[in-house]
């Protein structure tokens, strides 16, 4: 077999990523090991994806059992794992119907296409505007990146799809001014994830629901990152007591196996009649078998209570580190989706913290240049949580020490 290393990446991969120097080869629970056998605590989980840690025995069993039975059919035939998963998602949520796909972007693509058809059929083509928010992230297809609110992701990809309006997040007055009979959907994250772990204000979410009802627009919650127990509830909108017409899920849904889903009401579902939308792999039996196992484990009051307990410990640890080094503002977020904003003095240096953490054997994430993002497994053992915090503390000490040496001219 040919040897591959991190250097191989620069030779054979499209240069759209800049992966870390280490190449992990194995994971178990909240730990990872790289090619050199070095061990890391995982506070990133593949960007809030492997929510039951690496190689959870029940997920391995679901995957390998299904792998011996049936891998793929397409949507010319349906399959038992997809039907079981859809039934369980409908039973567990506001939704009446489910569409499966393979990623968060595809789930949002389906939601936005649904919204356009919904508006177009009601109004004969006049109700086609999608309202979204600055700093939102909804995926990287051309439509989803255009609906997303970060210009850096659309630059150079013009011409972009039209009839998309971006407004300030958490600003209900502006939404009220701008929404109209031309609006077919308002889409929001309940915590802007990639945008910096910014939670939505309760009055903003409730107000958006009311305005959508007044104007006949769909309310879409992008719960790709906040969903599947990460917030301490199965879906984060349950914290707000507001239900959407359409909800998108991915990331944690497959616990590391690629799958996305769009959940919606009966009325919204009726827009996507036979032939209007589709995906070859959507509802793939392997993906659905794993996601069913994830849902069975996560949709359990005991597990969700455990998320809150762990979130409390994580927040306490982060507050201690923030106080000790003056590097962070108080942490924010829901459950085990936590952002620690960099203090004024350390603005723009979240990536330096991530790099120092890696040197100390901890994998964490950024959410933009100014926020350290931490998304541990929902079942991270308390000992691993404590060890991860210890390594983060060491990383901060290293950065502060390096700054002092620099100041001293050393």
Kindly identify the residues of this chain, within the stretch 244-263, that bind ligand PLP according to CB under 6 A: 250-251
Give the span between the Cα atoms of 86 and 92, in whole angstroms: 10
Is residue 135 within the footprint of ligand PLP (CB under 6 A)? no
Q: Decide whether 190 or 304 has the Cβ nearer to ligand PLP.
A: 190
Whether 160 and 215 have beta carbons less than 8 Å apart is answered as no
Q: How near is the Cβ of 243 to ligand PLP at its closest, in Å?
A: 18
Please name the residues in contact with 334: beta carbons below 8 A apart, sequence gap of 6 or more.
Answer: 190, 191, 199, 226, 230, 231, 232, 236, 239, 311
Q: Decide whether 104 or 119 has the Cβ nearer to ligand PLP.
A: 104
Q: Out of 101, 114, 179, 224, which residue is the one contacting ligand PLP (CB under 6 A)?
A: 224
Q: How near is the Cβ of 240 to ligand PLP at its closest, in Å?
A: 16
Any idea which residue has 């080869």 for tokens? 25
Give the span between the Cα atoms of 249 and 337, in whole angstroms: 15
**Segment near ligand PLP (CB under 6 A), from 119-127, 221-229, 278-286, 369-377?**
221-229
Give the span between the Cα atoms of 242 and 132, in whole angstroms: 18
Binding mask 93-122 for ligand PLP (x = CB under 6 A): ----------xxx--x--------------
Q: How near is the Cβ of 227 to ligand PLP at its closest, in Å?
A: 9
Q: Out of 50, 66, 127, 225, which residue is the one contacting ligand PLP (CB under 6 A)?
A: 225
Token reading at 230: 């990460």
Other C-beta atoms within 10 Å of 402: how many? Answer: 13
Is residue 138 within the footprint of ligand PLP (CB under 6 A)? yes
Give the span between the Cα atoms of 178 and 343, in whole angstroms: 34
Kindly identify the residues of this chain, within the stretch 325-384, that bind ligand PLP according to CB under 6 A: none
Residue nearest to ligand PLP (CB): 104
Q: Decide whether 223 or 393 has the Cβ nearer to ligand PLP.
A: 223
Q: How near is the Cβ of 279 to ligand PLP at its closest, in Å?
A: 13
Q: How near is the Cβ of 256 to ligand PLP at its closest, in Å?
A: 12
Q: How near is the Cβ of 44 to ligand PLP at its closest, in Å?
A: 13
The 8 Å CB, 24+ separation contacts for 92-96 are 92/234, 92/295, 92/299, 93/234, 93/235, 93/247, 93/263, 94/243, 94/244, 94/247, 94/263, 94/265, 95/247, 95/263, 95/264, 95/265, 96/264, 96/265, 96/266, 96/269
Q: Decide whether 89 or 389 has the Cβ nearer to ligand PLP.
A: 89
Total residues interacting with ligand PLP, rule: CB under 6 A:
15
**Segment near ligand PLP (CB under 6 A), from 19-27, 134-142, 267-275, 397-405?**
134-142
Is residue 45 within the footprint of ligand PLP (CB under 6 A)? no
DSSP secondary structure of 56-114: -HHHHHHHHHHHTT-----TTS--HHHHHHHHHHHHHSS-SEEEEESSHHHHHHHHHHH
Whether 329 and 322 have beta carbons less than 8 Å apart is answered as yes
Kindly identify the residues of this chain, within the stretch 59-98, that bind ligand PLP according to CB under 6 A: none
Token reading at 374: 């931490």
Token reading at 188: 């929001």
Cα-based angle 158, 164, 165 (whole degrees, multiple of 5): 120
**Segment near ligand PLP (CB under 6 A), from 25-33, 80-88, 220-228, 301-309?**
220-228
Kindly identify the residues of this chain, within the stretch 183-202, that bind ligand PLP according to CB under 6 A: 189, 193-194
Whether 338 and 311 have beta carbons less than 8 Å apart is answered as yes
Q: Decide whether 311 or 367 has the Cβ nearer to ligand PLP.
A: 367
Kindly identify the residues of this chain, within the stretch 151-190, that bind ligand PLP according to CB under 6 A: 189
Site residues (vs ligand PLP, CB under 6 A): 103-105, 108, 137-139, 189, 193-194, 222, 224-225, 250-251
């Amino acid at each position: 077999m040919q040897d591959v290393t991190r250097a191989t990446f620069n030779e054979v991969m499209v240069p759209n990523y800049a992966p870390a120097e280490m190449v992990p080869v194995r994971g178990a629970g909240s730990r990872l090991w790289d090619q050199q056998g070095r061990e890391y605590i995982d506070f990133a989980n593949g960007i809030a994806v492997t929510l039951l840690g690496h190689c959870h025995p029940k997920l391995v069993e679901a995957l390998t059992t299904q792998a011996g039975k049936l891998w793929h059919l397409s949507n010319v035939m349906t399959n038992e794992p997809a039907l079981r998963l859809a039934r369980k998602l409908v039973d567990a949520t506001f939704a009446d119907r489910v569409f499966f796909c393979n990623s968060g972007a595809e789930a949002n693509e389906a939601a936005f296409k649904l919204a356009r058809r919904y508006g177009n059929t009601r109004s004969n083509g006049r109700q086609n505007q999608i309202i979204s928010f600055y700093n939102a992230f909804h995926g990287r297809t051309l439509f989803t990146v255009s609906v997303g609110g970060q210009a850096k992701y659309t630059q150079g990809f013009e011409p972009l799809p039209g009839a998309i309006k971006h407004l300030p997040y958490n600003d209900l007055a502006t939404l009220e001014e701008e929404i109209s009979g031309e609006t077919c959907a308002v889409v929001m994250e309940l915590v802007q994830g990639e945008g910096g772990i910014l939670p939505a204000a309760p009055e903003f979410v409730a107000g958006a629901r009311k305005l959508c009802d007044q104007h006949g627009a769909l309310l879409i919650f992008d719960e790709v990152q906040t969903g599947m127990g990460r917030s301490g509830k199965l879906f984060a909108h349950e914290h707000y007591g507001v239900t959407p017409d359409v909800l998108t899920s991915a990331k944690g849904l497959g616990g590391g196996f690629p799958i996305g889903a769009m959940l919606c009401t009966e009325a919204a579902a009726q827009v996507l009649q036979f032939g209007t939308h589709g995906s070859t792999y959507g509802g793939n039996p392997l993906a659905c078998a794993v996601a069913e196992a994830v849902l069975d484990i996560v949709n359990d009051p005991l597990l969700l209570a455990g998320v809150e307990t762990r979130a409390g410990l994580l927040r306490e640890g982060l507050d201690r580190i923030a106080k000790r080094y003056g590097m962070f503002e108080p942490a924010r977020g829901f459950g085990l989706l936590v952002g620690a904003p960099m203090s004024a003095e350390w603005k723009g240096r979240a990536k330096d913290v991530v790099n120092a953490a890696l040197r100390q054997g901890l994998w964490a994430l950024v959410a933009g240049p100014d926020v350290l993002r931490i998304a541990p497994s929902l079942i991270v053992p308390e000992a691993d949580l404590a060890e991860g915090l210890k390594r983060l503390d060491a990383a901060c000490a290293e950065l502060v020490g390096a700054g002092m040496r620099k100041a001293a001219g050393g």
